[in-house]
Structure 1
Amino acid sequence: MIIFNYLLVCLIFGTTFLAIKVGVDASAPPFFSAGLRFFIAGLLLFGWLLWRKKATLALLFRKEMLFTGIGLTFGTFSTLYWAEQYVSSGIAAVLSATGPIMILVLQTFVLRLKATTLSVFGSILGFAGIIILLLPQLAVSANLVWVIGSVAILVGELFYCMGALYSKKVIQQFPEASPIALNAAQMICGGLLLLVLSFFTEHVEVQSLFSPKAAGSLLYLIVIGSMVGHSLFYWLVAKTNPVFPATWLYISPLIALAVGVLFYGETITWVTAVGVVTVIAGTICANLDSLRQLMLRRKTA
């Protein structure tokens, strides 16, 4: 079940980059559409859990939900949505793949946790593959706005990593709460912050959200990207650890690039193919220790 849900998260999150790009290209205000996506998704999920008496309203007013929402939703997606105005969906996915490496660095140097040699090697190898994927695009896309957009995505990934690590602590702090309820609460908080940011920075024309592309993008991101994808991610964090689920960021560039070729007219060169193989090899190495531990737990159980 863990492996199946992990692969499903990889598939879902790999396609969300193009969905965001489609919405942004359709003139949907980035902060407003991001805020609407997460606030509606969180509200629907939390309302469903309230109806089933698996969540309480008091959860929404905990500071832990606000801090998690700042990391996993507000900081991550305010930068990603803004950057995808200037950076392609494939490159956005590639840059997002720095997440597992940042998590390992934070765990090793900030939390003083020991990382295995194989995990470190896998992360370095995966990052090398990301650089190989990135280099051809740098040759044709390098300009000031593109660079700022790329840096913004990296800053967002730092927020994401801190949120993923903090969310593990929150899950342990609220053992009686469903991981889905915790995820819904943080999405509501993060979505509200995005809407506040939009109020002060964007001029929103509501009709722009009703074009077929913008509406389709928003619907897909609310239901599949947020309600399904982020709930599965939170479940994986609860069942494993913050590093293992976050390695979907190594797989998502491959999916995002493939989707871009099939539906958005992007091309793949032989250099990209080398990068793909390197990323897959790095992902296997980075995950091998976690997979062994999971298999041992299953055998013991």
Structure 2
Amino acid sequence: MVLVNYLLMSLIFGTTYLVIKIGIDAGAPPLFSAGIRFLLAGSILFFWMMLGKRKVRLSLLFRKEMFLIGAGMTFGVFATLYWAEQYLSSGVAAVLSAPAPLMILLIQSRISRQKLSITDWSGCIVGSVGVILLLLPGITISISTLWILGCIAILIGLVGYSAGAIYSRRVIQRFEDTSPIALNAVQMMYGGGMLLILSLLTEDVQLTSLLAPNAILSLLYLMVVGSMMGHTIFYWLVAKTNPVFPTTWLYISPLIALILGMMLYDEPLSFLSVIGGILIIFGIILVNMNSLRQLAGKKTTLQQ
């Protein structure tokens, strides 16, 4: 059951990049559709858990910790991702999102003042080279300023996500008696609200663009499957295994997104982009080598 849910989660997260792209291409305002997605998904999850009396309190809605996590893990990363996917293919956006664990490692080492190992540094260097190779086709072939700005925006958004992820670990420890799913729901609500505010300030939202079939289907899929199902499976896996195993979806989903974008949406895929994507994923694996070895050791022990 664990393996089935893990593969399902990886597939879900891998498809979301393409579905975001489809909704944007259908005319849906990027920031507005992102805000609606997370606000509704978080609200439905939270009040469903309250009705089921599953370790959740209404006072959670008024905690500043939830606001800060939502600002980093939902608002910061998805504001830049949705905006950037107006100019990038879904596959490139997915691979550019893959260095998040590398950023988390660097920020953690800076905070704790611990030196990185040779393997960690190797992973960071390999991942950085991968990002450069991924950017080269857009610079040398399309020469699009917006393409380059989209790439930079996603990488900037990852800084907010990484900071939010590190902070959320402390918050989860502080709220041990609260379901992690409820914590995630509230931070999605805050992040979605901030996305809607930014949308109202920067976008001209037309009702007709939101009613396009592809825009509606994209929103529903991302809200129900991407946010509610995907994240619920993630936290279920954390409870059933450990915090390391579920996060390895980051090694698989970018490849799924690249393949889906090429096969289903005729997105261009250059040789340098493929090599860059592989290097980014390989760098992430190097950085997490010790955690993966520990996980493999636990699996072997359980099988014996």
TM-score, scaled relative to structure 2: 0.87
Deviation at 1:91, TM superposition (A): 1.6
The one-letter code sitting in structure 2 at the alignment partner of 1:142 is I
1:41 partnered with 2:41: yes
Deviations 1:213-243 (A, max 9, x none): 10111111001111122334456677645x7
**What is aligned with 2:19?**
19
**What is aligned with 2:228?**
227
Change (3 A) 1:276 1:81: closer
Question: 2: CA distance between counterparts of 1:290 and 1:35?
Answer: 34
1:292 partnered with 2:293: yes
Deviation at 1:137, TM superposition (A): 3.6
Q: Which aligned pairs between 1:152-301 and structure 2 lie closer than 5 A?
A: 152-234=153-235, 240-241=242-243, 248-296=249-297, 299=301
1:75 partnered with 2:76: yes
**What is aligned with 1:117?**
118
Change (3 A) 1:113 1:247: farther
Which has the higher mean CA deviation after the structures are superposed, 68-77 or 225-234? 225-234
The one-letter code sitting in structure 2 at the alignment partner of 1:19 is V
Question: 2: CA distance between counterparts of 1:131 and 1:245?
Answer: 27
Contact 1:179 1:235 in 2 (8 A): no
Contact 2:69 2:164 in 1 (8 A): yes
Change (3 A) 1:3 1:109: farther
1:58 partnered with 2:59: yes
Contact 1:59 1:185 in 2 (8 A): yes
Contact 2:89 2:261 in 1 (8 A): no
Counterpart of 2:178 in 1: which secondary structure?
coil
Q: Which aligned pairs between 1:141-152 and structure 2 lie closer than 5 A?
A: 141-152=142-153
Flag structure 2 segments of 5+ consecutive residues without an equivalent.
Answer: none
Counterpart of 1:176 in 2: which secondary structure?
coil
Question: 2: CA distance between counterparts of 1:297 and 1:178?
Answer: 25
Q: Which aligned pairs between 1:94-133 and structure 2 lie closer than 5 A?
A: 94-133=95-134
Question: 2: CA distance between counterparts of 1:119 and 1:5?
Answer: 29
Deviation at 1:244, TM superposition (A): 6.6
**What is aligned with 2:10?**
10
Which has the higher mean CA deviation after the structures are superposed, 74-83 or 222-231? 222-231
Change (3 A) 1:5 1:217: same
Deviation at 1:123, TM superposition (A): 3.9
Question: 2: CA distance between counterparts of 1:51 and 1:270?
Answer: 51
Contact 1:34 1:81 in 2 (8 A): yes
Question: 2: CA distance between counterparts of 1:8 and 1:115?
Answer: 33
Contact 1:100 1:123 in 2 (8 A): no
Change (3 A) 1:263 1:30: same
Counterpart of 2:288 in 1: which secondary structure?
helix
The one-letter code sitting in structure 2 at the alignment partner of 1:255 is I
Deviation at 1:83, TM superposition (A): 1.3
Contact 1:18 1:259 in 2 (8 A): yes
Question: 2: CA distance between counterparts of 1:180 and 1:165?
Answer: 17
Contact 1:69 1:187 in 2 (8 A): yes
Change (3 A) 1:82 1:270: closer
The one-letter code sitting in structure 1 at the alignment partner of 2:205 is V
Deviation at 1:129, TM superposition (A): 3.4
1:93 partnered with 2:94: yes
The one-letter code sitting in structure 1 at the alignment partner of 2:65 is E
TM-score, scaled relative to structure 1: 0.88
Contact 2:27 2:212 in 1 (8 A): no
Aligned residues: 300
Please provide the CA RMSD for this pair.
2.6
Flag structure 1 segments of 5+ consecutive residues without an equivalent.
Answer: none
Deviation at 1:270, TM superposition (A): 4.1
Change (3 A) 1:194 1:275: closer
Question: 2: CA distance between counterparts of 1:147 and 1:184?
Answer: 33
Calculate percent identity across the aligned residue pairs: 54
Counterpart of 1:165 in 2: which secondary structure?
helix
Question: 2: CA distance between counterparts of 1:115 and 1:236?
Answer: 28
